[in-house]
Chain A
């Protein structure tokens, strides 16, 4: 099933590693004859994987914790998990949800039959080593994001290597606006508000760059916002709501606290929103009945 397209726009990050591994080495010192010019996407094909049945309904294979399952050694699986972890880390940096299909195509390849186990192991490593929780964006969306289990702290900004993003500030403002206005807002209202802060849809901003693109494209693509056309509006207007990533990464209470801080007031000064935020906190604390039990 997995053909190897020869040339693609962006070479896979793990292509060479994979081919090195196929030569039977444990990934420590790959063969010197590595051909730099060939960057085929990772397929995990090779002498060791040959015993895997041809692609098809081979999903009967179950991964056991015992070593040397089928044709794959423990070491190979370990390497696969390592690749998967690195892939997820790198992809999440862009803040775009990682599609299951991309994971299968670029990393898992012939290890498809043990994919659930690989993902489970990778998620475990991400949690234990880095403090990131691998979360599905929405049930059955087959797209994942990494949510930080560590609480960000103001002083982090001083020791970071990336400038944090100024965009995050704009996002917070928009999220606050949406929540305070009852969880949905029109694009017109957003610009009416932002104009007062000197942020315009048509003018380049010194800090935010292109605010219109950020709000209506980037944040939407990153799933922080939902952006939908309101039918029968002339001129066309759009409604903005929180996206699935926002609910995973932050909360109504956190956003309310942010808004309160800006106004130098107390969250309780907005009783309606405060109540709503409290209920949201309660819902989060209560484990959802359908979810698997959290691992300790």
Chain B
């Protein structure tokens, strides 16, 4: 563990979740500061080095993939705690309870989205200080800003950060309602499902599985797969399109 790793860890902690491209930039920056001439270690190995040290602290840098478009992302997650603990320091008891209620609606929903109306209707059942609907709307926005929830057209789903951090917790507290992906076996909030047999797949898993398949068929029941097959995420294409991933502003603007 060198100062390169330490600075990386310190700065990584300032992000709730970080996309792979930015993680690489961060790594390069740390080498620049501490060890200019050293070759930049392969990211996977670099992170494994840090994780082996973090193991006894029951935290790890976990890699995941965004559910909507398959971007690789990284977050520092707790292994020992299973509650919404990382949020506990930034939110009051009633706010945390609002999150739990939203979480439950999201997990129980078919689409992986819970409507603002349905969430706000639960405001009376919250623990702690009484919260009005207007206030609750603002709290939901706070969740979006802090990357725990994503909002799309008045509906909320889990941010990939929340999924990375809370997968274990979610599986344990909602063992029956939880959905999993037929391909990667991971927790599934958003995805596509087979209309015949009901199995589900993440969008990026669909993209990979059916990549260059002329006639996509359900891996389970072999029926024709009725949904549009998304594109596999290609970081090269992003760079060519000139999408500025380096500007923090654009990072914040993206509803990821």
A and B, one complex? Answer: yes
Q: Which residues of A contact B89 (CB under 8 A)?
A: 10, 13, 90-91, 93-94
How many residues in B have their beta carbons less than 8 Å from beta carbons of A? 45
Determine the chain A residues whose CB is within 8 A of the CB of B53 once the complex forms: 128-129
Query: Residues 28-51 of chain B: 1 if any A CB is under 8 Å from the residue's CB, otherwise 0?
Result: 010011000000000000000000
Which of B14-22, B204-212, B222-230 contacts the other chain?
A: B14-22
The answer to the question of B233 belonging to the interface, with a C-beta cut-off of 8 Å to chain A, is no
Query: B100's closest neighbor in chain A, by CB?
Result: A36
Residue B92 CB within 8 A of the other chain? yes
Query: Is there an interface contact between A36 and B14, defined as CB atoms closer than 8 Å?
Result: no
Q: How many whole Å from A205's CB to the nearest CB in chain B? A: 21
CB-nearest residue of chain B to A160: B14
A10 to B89, CA, bound (A): 8
Shortest C-beta distance, A223 to chain B (Å), equals: 19
Q: Does B79 contact A (CB under 8 A)?
A: yes
B141 at the interface (CB under 8 A from A): no
Q: Which positions in B face A, CB cutoff 8 Å?
A: 1, 3, 6-7, 9-11, 13-16, 18, 22, 25-26, 29, 32-33, 53-54, 56-59, 78-83, 85-86, 88-89, 92-93, 96, 100, 127-128, 168, 172-173, 175, 248
In the complex, what's the smallest C-beta–C-beta distance from B14 to chain A, in angstroms?
4
Q: Which residues of chain B come closer than 8 Å to A148, judged between CB atoms?
A: 10
Task: For B82, give its contact among A17, A156, A159, A160 (CB under 8 Å).
Answer: A17
User: By CB atoms of chain A within 10 A, which of B1, B9, B58, B127 has the most?
Assistant: B58
Point out residues on A near B: beta carbons under 8 Å.
Answer: 7-17, 20-21, 27-30, 32, 34, 36-37, 39, 78-79, 81-83, 85-86, 89-91, 93-94, 125, 128-132, 148, 150, 153, 155-156, 158-163
CB-CB < 8 A to A16: which residues of B? Answer: 81-83, 85
Complex CA–CA separation, A289 to B79 (angstroms)? 42
Chain A residues, Cβ within 8 Å of B78: 17, 86
- Chain A residues with Cβ below 8 Å from B9 are 129-131
The B interface is mostly helix, strand or loop, or mixed, namely helix
Q: Which residue of the partner chain B has the closest CB to A26? A: B80
Contact A9 B16 (CB under 8 A): no
| A-B pairs with lowest CB-CB distance, top 8 | A161-B15, A131-B6, A17-B81, A161-B14, A16-B83, A27-B80, A13-B88, A82-B58
**Bound CA–CA A132/B93 (angstroms):** 30
29 pairs, CB–CB < 8 Å, chain A vs chain B: A7-B127, A9-B93, A11-B88, A13-B81, A13-B89, A14-B81, A16-B83, A27-B80, A34-B83, A78-B56, A82-B58, A86-B59, A86-B78, A94-B89, A125-B57, A129-B53, A130-B6, A130-B10, A131-B10, A150-B3, A155-B32, A156-B7, A156-B11, A156-B29, A158-B29, A160-B15, A161-B11, A161-B14, A161-B15
Instruction: Using CB atoms, name the residue of chain A closest to B87.
Output: A13
- Nearest-CB distance from B22 to chain A (Å)? 7
Indicate whether A36 sits within 8 Å of B173 (C-beta atoms), given known contacts A131-B3, A131-B6, A156-B11. yes
